[in-house]
Chain A
């Protein structure tokens, strides 16, 4: 929900700020649910409670809890000024998160097996400092295992991508 990437150049963001941002997002989500359920009809219709009847109260709870957390984070006793993440931690988290985003994008394009092989190999080379040879070996073995497990034994086809490179092998 909340991104805290901007903290890399600001230095470190403190926990109560992240707390407040997340609380605001909860509040906005609640308002969205309230709006959505109002337009659906949250009242009483001729044949019983309308489709927005239950979500309306859920939206209300979301707003209350979002507002409550926001107030506590900003004004009241349990204000946590400790850093949410330090720079090294953020770098480590992003070094997993950003490649994962790229990976899912690649899955969309070339399919799961190929993307996973490249992803595991690159992850090992760049973050684990393994040799290319070893990384490629592990990546291929792991994905061959997945391939046989899903396509061959359990017959659960996985995503082959918009440009299906494996189609040459008949899969």
Chain B
């Protein structure tokens, strides 16, 4: 039971007044980010990352991961009260959450959503506690070919499991890799793809891309829809909370199933959004009262919220254990690790015990604090949504500009942010997924290094990717994923599949 002693050590690291304060600040900022249109987990963390450069890595990651939990909680508030998903993963929550609010059960719906989020996250954190050290230990044996195979699998899974055109997923991914290649080559020291522009020597920073793509892009999209908020009022009193909590245990099957779906989709880079839809669909199919889904059924809130939070949390497992993030937000956190001088990956568990276990302990505590904070502050955050968009929009643009500038203190980055905003808007409208772009931009150099090292070992022969059973099976799985759109078409010819539910509502992210 090494994990237990390590975990208690982690608690002893984080239980300082300063860290607890940062945790609270992080949760509050996170809920705020989750509630505001245009600011989400990924770009919220990206904007606030520069503020943490002077903190110790442990305090910094506690604050940033708490922002992430807060954003996950916050998305539910807008879905239920305003029928506007604050985050893509809370789209499925609107299906039953908003009807519940219309029936006057807003308090119950919110309590259910927050509690389910907490349960999902808790199950995922327990899983991380015991699985991450094992994965890390296993991954210590990895060489360059194994790592490249895992990178390959990560990116091919986007094609295999993503919704929408495989060409667009590939394009988005390759744009990320191409932008990552710009600048100084890490091996030969040569300048690459700068086309003689000295400012490009630094390369493209993924933080700028995240702030632009998700922040400015989202503002443009919200503006296009001409947002007019008209929300249900929210009041949560202890009596409603207590009554809802008494109801929840009878839906434990839904909770467990959703948590498992979420964990699976979080570790593989499926992400929180498909997880919430999948879990909602399964709950609808398996529930006795499946026909009432969409009319304000409590299970319809439990399922997507549990899965989204479980996925969002377990996306941190591959980031910690392998150095490969499972979601854009995890990618931003990984970028943070690099900036603080920590090398993500299996060695982290050996060399930075305080940091890793502090982070894991903060996941337990952060989610508990988060649950209490959101339950008590919902009316406050709901009133923020009543501030008109014409005040919020310029403030968010200013915040994005500040965030982009502070990364390198360079004005060019602010212009690039605008450009990325435009790209984000177009890509969102044309259903190009943004997550592969961000992940490729973060992992580009590392993926390239591992490929080049592998090729050096084998003197340019691709057979090294099948040189032992481990690397061979990962590579083969990756190729199956890559050609899955074609394979599934062939399979469909042999055996026609059932039509997928909710295909139309599910956003591409």
Interface residues of A (CB under 8 A from B): 1-2, 15, 18-19, 22, 26, 29-30, 33, 36-37, 40, 44, 48-55, 58-59, 61-62, 64-66, 68-69, 72, 78, 84-85, 88-89, 92-93, 95-97, 100-101, 103-104, 107-108, 112, 116, 119-120, 123-124, 127-128, 130, 138, 142-143, 146, 150, 154-159
CB-CB contacts below 8 Å: B173-230 with A: 173-175, 177-178, 181, 185, 187-188, 190, 192-193, 195, 216, 219-220, 223-226
A54, A88, A89, A159 interface centre (most CB from chain B within 10 Å): A54
- A101-B325 Cα distance, complex, nearest whole Å: 33
Q: Does B248 contact A (CB under 8 A)?
A: no
B-side contacts of A130, CB under 8 Å: 390
- Asked if B174 and A62 sit within 8 Å, CB to CB, the answer is yes
Contact, CB under 8 Å: A37 / B193:
yes
**Does B466 touch A at the CB level, under 8 Å?**
no
Secondary structure of the B contact surface, majority rule: helix
A65 touches B167 (CB 8 A): yes
Q: Mark B422-463, 1 if CB is under 8 A from A, else 0.
A: 110111011010000000000000001001100110001000
Q: In whole Å, how far is A125's beta carbon from the nearest beta carbon of chain B?
A: 9
- Which residues on the B side are within 8 Å of A97 (C-beta)? 220, 422
Residues of B with C-beta under 8 A to A146: 398, 402
Say whether B280 faces chain A, with CB atoms less than 8 Å apart.
Answer: no
A44 touching B460 by the CB < 8 A rule? Answer: yes
Q: Does chain A have a CB within 8 A of B397?
A: yes
- Which stretch in B129-137, B294-302, B405-413, B500-508 binds the other chain? B405-413
Interface-centre pick from B165, B175, B460 (highest chain A CB count, 10 A): B175
User: B192's contact among A55, A101, A116, by CB below 8 Å, is which?
Assistant: A55
Q: B455–A49 contact, CB under 8 A?
A: yes
Smallest CB separation, A47 vs chain B (Å): 8
25 A-B residue pairs with CB within 8 Å: A1-B419, A2-B426, A40-B190, A51-B185, A54-B177, A54-B448, A55-B177, A62-B174, A65-B168, A68-B167, A89-B226, A92-B226, A95-B223, A96-B219, A100-B397, A103-B401, A104-B415, A107-B411, A107-B414, A108-B411, A120-B391, A124-B394, A127-B390, A154-B54, A159-B409
Most B CB within 10 A of own CB, among A130, A150, A156: A156
Q: Looking at the assembled complex, report how far the CB atom of A62 sits from the nearest CB atom of chain B, in whole angstroms.
A: 4
Contact A156 B451, CB 8 Å, known A37-B193, A93-B223, A127-B390: no
- B395's partner among A15, A26, A69, A120 (CB-CB below 8 A) is A120
B171 close to chain A: CB less than 8 A: yes
**7 closest Cβ contacts across the A-B interface?**
A128-B390, A68-B167, A65-B171, A123-B394, A65-B170, A61-B174, A54-B448
Q: How far is the CB of B65 from chain A (nearest CB, A)?
A: 19
Using a CB–CB cutoff of 8 Å, the interface residues on chain B facing chain A are 50-51, 54, 165, 167-168, 170-171, 173-175, 177-178, 181, 185, 187-188, 190, 192-193, 195, 216, 219-220, 223-226, 388, 390-391, 393-395, 397-398, 401-402, 405-406, 409, 411, 414-415, 418-419, 421-423, 425-427, 429-430, 432, 448, 451-452, 455-456, 460
Contacts A51-B185, A68-B167, A101-B418 given; does A62 touch B423 at CB 8 Å? no
Contacts of B175 in A (CB 8 A): 26, 29, 62
Identify B167's interface contact among A72, A88, A150, CB under 8 A. A72
- Which of A15, A48, A96 makes the CB contact (< 8 A) with B456? A48
In the complex the two chains form, is A128's CB within 8 Å of B388's CB? yes
Q: A18-B430, A128-B390, A158-B405 are in contact. Are A36 and B455 (CB under 8 A)?
A: no
User: Which residue of chain B lies nearest to A121 when distances are taken between CB atoms in the complex?
Assistant: B394
Q: Give the contacting residue for B452; candidates A54, A68, A155; CB below 8 A.
A: A54
Closest-CB distance, B191 to chain A (whole angstroms): 9
B452 touches A48 (CB 8 A): yes
Contact in complex: A158, B406 (CB < 8 Å): yes
Q: Which of A96, A120, A157 contacts B220 (CB 8 A)?
A: A96
Q: By the criterion CB–CB under 8 Å, are A69 and B190 in contact?
A: no
Establish whether residues B426 and A18, one from each chain, have CB atoms under 8 Å apart when the complex forms: yes
Distance to closest chain B CB from A70 (angstroms): 9
Q: In this complex, what residue of A is CB-closest to B451?
A: A54
- B414 x A1 contact (CB < 8 A): no
CB closest chain-A residue, reference B167? A68
When the two chains form their complex, are residues B171 and A66 in contact, meaning their CB atoms are under 8 A apart? Answer: yes
**Residues of B close to A95: CB separation below 8 A:** 223
